[in-house]
Amino acid sequence: LGALLMAIGHVVLGASEIHPSFLYLSLAIIVCGYGLFKSNVSCLLGELYEPTDPRRDGGFSLMYAAGNVGSIIAPIACGYAQEEYSWAMGFGLAAVGMIAGLVIFLCGNRHFTHTRGVNKKVLRATNFLLPNWGWLLVLLVATPALITVLFWKEWSVYALIVATIIGLGVLAKIYRKAENQKQRKELGLIVTLTFFSMLFWAFAQQGGSSISLYIDRFVNRDMFGYTVPTAMFQSINAFAVMLCGVFLAWVVKESVAGNRTVRIWGKFALGLGLMSAGFCILTLSARWSAMYGHSSLPLMVLGLAVMGF
């Protein structure tokens, strides 16, 4: 369902050239599809392995790397289609790629016959006056209302404060319900890692916004007489992620076999460190463009590659 919604969203996005209202409708459809797809595909992969299976980390690293195969091809193909033909052609090509991925997934559906599926008992369990499925419906209704409030500048800060207090309250309740000290320690670890993960993705997602705008306006994109479309630069990060993912899966496997554990803290620190190093290179690129009017292509490629690693 998520993949299908994303494909439909890209088709509608192509129609935004006809009327601007299609832009907001398409973004809403894509966001809903991405939410359904991204969360469930990770959970589905998790059910392929037992919690103590040493291959589990390697499996997720390979999935992340394999997903970036499309992230390498799509910016090149869609960027070329947009540059040579139209935005609608580029978005339409993205929809075709999404449908192709969905067909491949359905063809391999037989590998997931042993998975547990939806835990209906957990959904029907009652917490805070309502069953869990009821709270899901409340969240579904409350989220658009919260987003609407965030667009009002005078109310946005208060809305964020209230949402933060509610989130901390729920987290405190879960912490108090922990059965032993081990569970509390693990919960603290999850919260800490989640915080650093939020920082990482906040920086990583700049690739499709501020960094793309910088490349389009201040980077000399001419290479052998051809002006490289800005969208194609997204392939650099994905290519680096793919190489790093395969290497990391091998390292984790070798570490388990050799009884040398690769600590998750070390992987988080390495990821944030490389992200910081990549932005340091982009800072040099920005200084270069400030002095000479534009930055060099190799420096930009190096920065994006380091961020991907």
| 51 within a domain of the structure (yes/no) | yes
Q: How many angstroms separate the CA atoms of 48 and 113, rounded?
A: 10
**pLDDT for res 259:** 44
Domains in the chain, number:
3
Domain boundary among 117, 135, 150: 117
pLDDT at position 111:
66
Same domain as 218, residue 162: no
**Domain end residue (candidates: 95, 117, 139):** 117
Q: What is the pLDDT of residue 235?
A: 86
Whether residues 102 and 26 share a domain: the answer is: yes
Helices and strands: H and E segment counts in the chain = 12, 4
Confidence (pLDDT) at 260: 43
Judgement on whether residues 154 and 197 belong to the same structural domain of the protein: no
pLDDT at res. 127: 62
| Residue 266, in any domain of the structure | yes
Whole-number pLDDT of residue 258 = 46
Query: What pLDDT digit, counting tens, does each position of 38-64 carry?
Result: 877 877 777 777 777 777 777 777 777
User: What contacts 24+ positions apart, CB below 8 Å, involve 297-300?
Assistant: 297/219, 297/220, 297/221, 297/222, 297/223, 297/228, 300/215, 300/219, 300/233
pLDDT of residue 261: 42
- For the whole model, what pTM was predicted? 0.67
Same domain, 71 and 169: no
Same domain for 126 and 112, yes or no, is: no
Q: Do 72 and 242 touch, CB atoms closer than 8 A?
A: yes
| 226 inside domain | yes
Q: Which of 82, 117, 152 is the last residue of a domain?
A: 117
In a domain, 182, yes or no: no
Its sign, for the CA torsion 260, 262, 263, 265, is: positive
My answer on whether 309 and 196 are in the same domain is yes
10-residue mean pLDDT profile of the chain (309 residues): values are 87 80 83 83 77 75 76 86 85 89 82 61 61 73 72 72 82 79 80 85 84 86 83 84 69 51 68 87 87 83 82
Residue 186 lies in a domain: no
Q: What is the DSSP letter of 180?
A: S
Q: Please give the pLDDT value at position 165.
A: 87
Residue type, 271: G
Shared-domain flag, residues 220 and 287: yes
Answer yes or no: is 280 within a domain.
yes
For residue 96, the enclosing domain spans 1-117
Q: Is 29 exposed, middle or buried (0-12, 13-18, 19+ CB in 10 A)?
A: buried
